[in-house]
């Protein structure tokens, strides 16, 4: 599992990392490690590239709203990043969309809420069935656009 944030999400990232380690996950922290201003696309790329290449099964990203990280991460083939803005979304993006990158907004939710949403996200299996057909269609779009090897 890989995790990263921008400067706005640094404290929430630390709390999420702590929770994942408590839950027994091995997590690669891709930064940042200091509070100086950074550019979120660099950190979204670091996580999304590892998920896209299969080097990490799951990714976690945090920025101010979650939107920027989600937009950047979803540029990578095979990455299905979603902002987990409530518990229902945390559950259903796994069940129906096979999301593999959880994204949080440090300025839009508490760290406690983010930890609970991540717990839900990580525990929920992909339902497959009709949802697998739809996820496969996303892969076809990526392939048609030349985003897959």
Lowest mean pLDDT among 58-62, 76-80, 106-110, 131-135: 131-135
Average of pLDDT values for 96-107?
97
Task: List the catalytic residue out of 7, 33, 92, 96.
Answer: 96
Q: Would you call 63 a catalytic residue per the annotation?
A: yes
> Model confidence over 28-50: pLDDT tens digits?
999 999 999 999 999 999 999 99
What lies within 8 Å, CB to CB, of 115 at 6+ separation is: 15, 16, 19
In 3D, which of 14, 52, 118 has the Cα closest to residue 5? 14
Q: Would you call 33 a catalytic residue per the annotation?
A: no
Residue 82 pairs with which residues in a beta bridge?
Answer: 102
Task: List the catalytic residue out of 7, 63, 92, 140.
Answer: 63
> Model confidence over 111-120: pLDDT tens digits?
999 999 999 9
Enumerate domains of the chain plus CATH numbers.
2-144 (3.40.1400.10)
DSSP SS3 for 7: helix
Q: What is the pTM of this model?
A: 0.94
């Amino acid at each position: 599992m890989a995790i990263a944030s921008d400067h706005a999400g640094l404290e929430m990232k630390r709390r999420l990392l702590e929770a994942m380690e408590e839950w027994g996950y091995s997590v690669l922290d891709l930064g940042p490690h200091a509070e100086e201003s950074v550019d979120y696309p660099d950190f979204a790329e670091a996580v999304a590239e590892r998920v896209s290449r299969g080097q990490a099964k799951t990714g976690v990203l945090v920025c101010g709203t979650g939107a920027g990280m989600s937009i950047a991460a979803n540029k990578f083939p095979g990455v299905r990043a979603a902002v987990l803005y409530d518990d229902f979304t945390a559950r259903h993006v796994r069940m129906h969309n096979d999301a593999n990158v959880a994204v949080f907004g440090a300025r839009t939710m508490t760290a406690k809420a983010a930890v609970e949403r991540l717990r839900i996200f990580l525990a929920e299996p992909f339902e497959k069935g009709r949802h697998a057909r739809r996820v496969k269609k996303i892969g076809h779009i990526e392939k048609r656009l030349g985003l897959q090897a």
